[in-house]
Amino acid sequence: MIPAQSYLPISGGTLTGSLGVGSASNDQGLYLYKRIGSSGSANYASIGQHNLPLQIYNTASGIYNNRKLEAGVLDNGTAVLQANALGEGYFPIHLNPVSGGVLIGSGNTMTTPYTLQVGGASYFSGTASFNNGALIGNASSDQSLIVYKKIGTAGTANYAGVAQHNLPLQIYNTSNGPYNNRKLEIGVLDNGTTVFQASAAGEGYFPIHLNPVAGGVLIGSQNTMTTPYTLQVGGTSYFSGSSLFNGNVGIGTNSPSEKLSVDGNIKTKKLIVTQNNWPDYVLRSGYKLRPLAEVERFIKQNNHLPDMPSEKEVSEKGVNVGDNQALLLKKIEEMTLYIIDQQKQINELKKQINKK
């Protein structure tokens, strides 16, 4: 037992046993139960040993008395400061003076000379700023942010914010297949339009533009919307199922006045029109035909048949196909009745001639 304030005159030799300061029993090379005092320029304690020779305990007889702080230099040259607990593992901070990097939360050494490498989940309660880009999940990237895993969200902050003009967020398919050159690009263009587009090297791109001001969606065109439509498709469209349009539909016109307005020709194999009040009533008994003399006077005055629209009406309002077909059939049936009546008159004249 060495009295307090003792001096050990050791020079060029080795203390082969254990030295305890503040306690007579220990199993360590140096066991301190007091602070290490320093003075002058020698304001540090120097301990020569490999890996983690300095261990600091909490000696309170509580629930954490099995935990300690370990410090030292590993055999690979990395300085380590780590919390260690018996039966609970350890959590280290690795400092690499050569690469200038800090590794937190992993038992492995740094494989790439990052300034900061975190081997585990990280939580930032405030704002994190990355001046030169952030890399997640892969060691090689030429993007500002590249993510090779899902972006997890929680609480009300259920989005990932990326601030940049045009298309800063790009999502790749990293499988080694025929589509590994394709990507999904998301961003806000400089004109304020939000864009989702599929892009492929050497194949161009196919976008969906969302305009929050005009409330419109533009699909399949590289140009922005010139008219605030709710939906604008810049290309050929194909609908394999039924489509329902509650309003008016215009083809070749921007202002359809009917359920279907077409400014151009229509080519079809069949046109089926459902029509009410079909003119079978003309052939029923009791129908009164206009006298032919009256029909003649009407034609001379109006230059068209009775009940039929005039040239001016057709040029201004068009022709209702169903109604026009019904009117044409009505005139054919009336004409048939006129012919039948004339035939009866001819037959009667023949009888009178034959009697003479």
User: What are the residue boundaries of the structural domains of the chain, listed by start?
Assistant: 132-149+164-235, 279-355
| E strand or H helix at 323 | helix 321-355
CB atoms within 10 A of CB 205: 14
Instruction: Identify the helix (H) or strand (E) that includes residue 297.
Output: helix 292-302
- HSE (side-chain half, CA atoms, 13 Å) at 23: 12
- Residue 292 is predicted with a pLDDT of 94
Partners of 275 in beta bridges: none
Q: State the Cα–Cα distance between residues 228 and 233, nearest whole angstrom.
A: 12
Ranges 41-45, 77-81, 189-193, most confident? 77-81
The pLDDT value recorded for residue 345 is: 94
Residue scoring higher pLDDT (49 or 40): 49
Residue 19: phi and psi, rounded to 5, are -125, 120
pLDDT digits (tens, 9 = 90+) for 101-113: 888 876 556 666 6
Lowest mean pLDDT among 35-44, 74-83, 212-221: 35-44
- Is the model's pLDDT at 199 over the cut of 80? no
Q: What is the mean pLDDT of residues 223-236?
A: 73
**What is the percent of the chain where pLDDT is above 90?**
24
pLDDT-based confidence at residue 15 (cuts at 50, 70, 90) = low
Where residue 57 falls among pLDDT bands split at 50, 70, 90? confident
Q: What is the pLDDT of residues 112-154, one digit of tens each?
A: 667 777 777 777 787 777 776 666 665 555 555 565 555 555 4
Strand, coil or helix: 30: strand
3-state helix, strand, coil in the chain (%, to 5): 15, 25, 55
pTM of whole model > 0.75? no
More confident call, 319 vs 5: 319
Does the pLDDT of residue 311 top 90, yes or no? yes
Q: What rounded mean pLDDT belongs to the chain? A: 76
CB 74 within 8 A of CB 51: yes
Give the start-end residues of each E strand in the chain. Answer: 19-21, 30-32, 51-57, 67-73, 79-85, 89-96, 101-104, 116-118, 134-136, 145-147, 166-172, 182-188, 194-200, 204-211, 216-219, 231-233, 249-251, 260-262
Quick one: tokens of 120? 């585990």
